[in-house]
Amino acid sequence: MQITVEAKPFAALETEALVSYVFEESDPIQGRIAEIDPAANSLLRNLAKSGEVTGKVLEMTLIHAPAWLKAARLLLVGAGKREKFDSAALRKISGAALRYLKSRGVHKFVFAVREGNATEDSAQAIAEGLLAADFESDKYKTEKKNDKSIDSVQLAGYSAAERAAAEKGLARGTVIGESQNFARDLINEPSNKLTPRILAQKAEAMARQAGLTVEILDEKKITDLKMGALLSVSQGGPEPPRVIVVTYTPANAKPGTPVLGLIGKAVTFDTGGISIKPADGMEKMKYDMAGGATMLGAMRALAALKPNVKVICVVPATENMPGGTAQKPGDIQTAMSGKTIEVLNTDAEGRLILADAVHYAKQLGATHLVDAATLTGAIVVALASINVGVFGGADQSWTDKVLASAKAAGEKMWQMPMDDEYREYIKGTVADIQNIGSGKGGGSITGAWFIREFAGDTPWVHLDIAGTAWNDDAKPWLAKGPTGVALRTLVELALSY
């Protein structure tokens, strides 16, 4: 799909469909939309008067062959209340419009921003919305639905003077949208097509193409480094683990400046191990590598957007299998940091592999950490699929920075409590620490506290994306399946340095 900026007056554009949006207010037909209305014999205002066009969020009004336009169709999308309208809404509207038109066989359309919205940010949001909405994997279908595709979209409503800003926003949004889809492609892969070794190969290929430094640690190196927590998870099956390390170094890198560490859980399949999961729904555990994929996607975007900060990405990759060599409940493992862990539940494996990855990221020089992981079912209970769970360490200013980036990127995140009392739940009886809480409830918090033990005093934020990384039902603006959530926040975080 090609997205370009078109500075011509949009009423004069020849296209299969002209798309714009109307607000939910007493008269939704205002401004630029009203300007094209006189020629339409007040058709639009009459539709509004009759209640067919209200401006309610995602309401779709499709008008065929409007004689007063060069376009073959006019699509008006409801944008909701004007006061609540922001770039997140624009992202959704543009995505929903794309999916609406795509399903109707349209191949090319013009998306026109309204007066006051012709900014760099809006162009970025629209590009992100369009690219995310266009993603639909039919990779493993032998019959492709090739007739249903969007080939090109023109962004209109920008004046000649606004064009440069629009193009800048579009370029940035395209990089971010494509990187998000890169992550979603990885997340979609089933576990037989994406083992830890294959994930490492794909990460390496991406990094080389993007001009990033990459190192893949194999099982020998992992053993030499004494990553006992990661190895305890991978020992349950024949697939060897990998640790993927991708580094971005800015051109003017100065020693002594902050280094961002991005750590992502990549369990390419989570059976639960000996603490095995129920069969029902287990197939979904192919997405237990979404945190790692999201971090790799973020690195892909950062390579192109070139932030001013060094970024080290560490992705521990393994399967969690219940083979004859698997670790068993009660086993005691020694993490790379030297801490001993009593593994009370082999299904709480994400925190084990993150323990070593977080420790290693610090050793490589990361001074500020963010990890993303499909860590707990408990976060789904707490926040459903609406908000990412955010857990911070002692440095609230670092958590605030991540939350501010999420707000700017239009990703919903909610900070969870991390009182010291929760830490008591994971204090070990026979080892230093145990991998599940002894108290009832608070499962996502004890999971976060476990990782925090390895982050130590280094500013750290944990994102639990178990509820938000996978869309169970298609939305008007997004297909069913992987979402790539948190990527935009992480890119924004790095760029805001």
Q: Of the ranges 191-199, 304-312, 348-356, 389-397, which one interacts with Zn ion (CB under 5 A)? A: 348-356
Please check whether residue 325 is in contact with residue 235, taking contact to mean a CB–CB distance below 8 angstroms: yes
Is 277 a residue of the active site?
yes
Taking CB under 6 A as the rule, does residue 348 contact ligand BES?
yes
In angstroms, the Cα distances linking 186 to 149, 199, 217, 335 are: 21, 8, 20, 28
Terminal-to-terminal C-alpha distance of the chain:
31
- Contacts of ligand BES in 399-458 (CB under 6 A): 436, 443
| Binding-site partner at residue 436 among ligand BES, Zn ion, none, CB < 5 to 8 Å by type | ligand BES
| 170, 113 contact by CB (below 8 A) | no
Largest Cα span, the chain: 81
Amino acid identity, position 250 = P
178 binds ligand BES (CB under 6 A): no
Q: Considering only residues 249-268, where is the footprint of Zn ion by CB under 5 A?
A: 267
Return the ∠ at Cα 198 (arms to 195 and 199), rounded to 5°. Answer: 85
Instruction: Please choose which of Zn ion, ligand BES, none residue 234 contacts, taking the beta carbon within 5 to 8 angstroms, the exact cut-off set by kind.
Output: none
376 binds ligand BES (CB under 6 A): yes
Query: Tokens representing 377?
Result: 């079912």
- How many residues form the binding site for ligand BES (CB under 6 A)? 16
347 binds ligand BES (CB under 6 A): yes
Residues 333 and 429: beta-carbon distance below 8 Å? no
Question: Using CB under 5 A, which residues numbered 132 to 191 contact Zn ion?
Answer: none
Tokens of 300: 């892909």
What's at 226, amino acid-wise? K
CA dihedral 127, 383, 399, 83 (to 10 degrees): 50
Dihedrals phi, psi of 365, to nearest 5 degrees = 115, 5
Closest approach, Cβ 320 to ligand BES, in A, equals 7
Q: Does 492 bind ligand BES (CB under 6 A)?
A: no
* Main-chain dihedrals φ then ψ at residue 262, nearest 5 degrees: -110, 120
Question: What minimum distance in Å lies between the beta carbon of 281 and ligand BES?
Answer: 8
In sequence order, the 6+-apart residues with CB closer than 8 A to the CB of 61 are: 47, 52, 53, 75, 76
Among left, alpha and beta (phi > 0; psi -120 to 50; other), residue 187 is: alpha
288 sits near Zn ion (criterion: CB under 5 A): yes
Among 91, 99, 265, 351, which one carries the catalytic annotation? 351
User: By CB under 6 A, is residue 374 in contact with ligand BES?
Assistant: yes
In the bound complex, what is the minimum distance in angstroms from residue 288's beta carbon to Zn ion? 4
Output the CA angle 295-298-301, nearest 5 degrees: 155
Nearer to ligand BES, 307 or 389 (CB): 389
Coil, helix or strand for 304? helix
Q: Which stretch binds Zn ion (CB under 5 A): 111-119, 137-145, 344-352, 418-426?
A: 344-352
From candidates 6, 178, 349, 356, binder to ligand BES by CB under 6 A? 349
Interaction partner, residue 319 (Zn ion, ligand BES, none; CB < 5-8 Å by kind): none
What is the sign of the dihedral through the CA atoms of 410, 169, 484 and 399? Answer: negative
> Judged by CB under 6 A, which of 16, 59, 288, 453 binds ligand BES?
288
Q: Which of 466, 478, 491, 495 binds ligand BES (CB under 6 A)?
A: 466
270 touching Zn ion, by CB under 5 A: yes
**Neighbour tally for 141: CB within 10 Å:** 8
Angle value at C-alpha 100, between 28 and 118, nearest 5 degrees: 50
- Which residue type, as a one-letter code, is found at position 24? E
Interface residue with ligand BES among 54, 201, 345, 367 (CB under 6 A) is 345
Question: Of the listed pieces 51-59, 118-126, 169-177, 282-290, which binds Zn ion according to CB under 5 A?
Answer: 282-290
- From the list 168, 197, 226, 277, the catalytic residue is 277
Chosen from Zn ion, ligand BES, none, partner binding at 466 (C-beta under 5 to 8 Å by type):
ligand BES
* Active centre residues (catalytic): 277, 351
Q: Which residues of the shown chain bind ligand BES in the complex (CB under 6 A)?
A: 270, 288, 345, 347-350, 374-378, 380, 436, 443, 466
